[in-house]
Amino acid sequence: MRKRRHVSRAVLAVVSAAVVGVAGCDAVGGNSPEPSGTEARSARPSPRPTPAWDRSPASIAAVGDSITTGFDACSVLSDCPEVSWATGSSPQVDSLAVRLLGKAKAARSSWNYAVTGARMADVPGQMAQAATRRPELVAVMAGANDACRASVDAMTSVADFRTQFEDAMSTLRESLPKTQVFVASVPNLKRLWEQGRTDPMGKQVWKLGICPSMLSDPDSLTTQSNQRRATVQGRVEAYNEVLEEVCEKDRRCRFDDGAVYDFRFGTGQLSRWDWFHPSVDGQARLAEIAYRTVTN
């Protein structure tokens, strides 16, 4: 995860420093001598500039998992899409869609295809659904469930995660080459364990199967338990490197530079039922991060 620190904010603001080259012909034909120096530089065609990032897209679609469905934010073990950071209508959240489009237009021109429990392998299918709406911006938040498995051995491999995210981007690009993409980093799951492990009710809900690779046996501080959590955390950081690297290759993609991962969720930003998913206030903080990334 620290690898991303070398990437400047200026680079993220234009998505990628790489420019698609324009195949040009020689400005001089026949047997004429080839120009050199300043003359040569002025004779060659200039590379096409990277297109400007549109800070005010007219429509938004969201893909991802339970965080984007507002799971456990309003009631226990239930989705609450009206408080989704991406497309929710709640004034308590002021979602990305509402901030960018206004409330009335967001109701008509934003769509949420996230599914609770989804992993990155599900995102290409969600992208295909989103593409049918022809949105000008797609918001992506996925990866937590790839690390939140029954055991560390069951976690999605980094290589598979990369292939799946690349497939998702390719699926979108096949039909919408100009649609912009905002990619959120995977949250710091270890910090969520640290915040919730002192709450008796939260720990009871965890036993129902919420992120067992990180949250099982939450009170144990044995070497084995600590190593298990460190392994999960390392995988999350590797996923975030993949999200950054794949996004950098697409001229119309912006990664949040690890802002969601770095956000220090406190008890006020976590669900009062499971102390793991974002609360309404947590959803509002995610909306702030997304809006800041899209509009800077």
The pLDDT of residue 39: 40
Which segments in the chain show pLDDT lower than 50? 1-50
How many other C-beta atoms are found inside a 10 Å radius of the C-beta of residue 266? Answer: 13
DSSP notation for 76-99: TT---GGG-TTT---TTT--HHHH
Model confidence over 47-56: pLDDT tens digits? 444 468 999 9
- Rounded to two decimals, the pTM is 0.82
Answer yes or no: are the C-beta atoms of 238 and 246 closer than 8 Å: no
The pLDDT of residue 51: 62
Rounded Cα–Cα distance for residues 98 and 104 (Å): 8
223 phi and psi angles, rounded to 5 deg: -60, -40
Q: Which CATH number fits domain 54-295: 1.20.120.80, 3.40.50.1110, 3.40.47.10, 1.10.940.10?
A: 3.40.50.1110
Answer yes or no: are the C-beta atoms of 59 and 96 closer than 8 Å: no
Q: Where along the chain do its domains lie?
A: 54-295
The pLDDT of residue 198: 87
Tell me which residue of 79, 165, 72, 78 sits closest to 114, measured CA to CA. 79
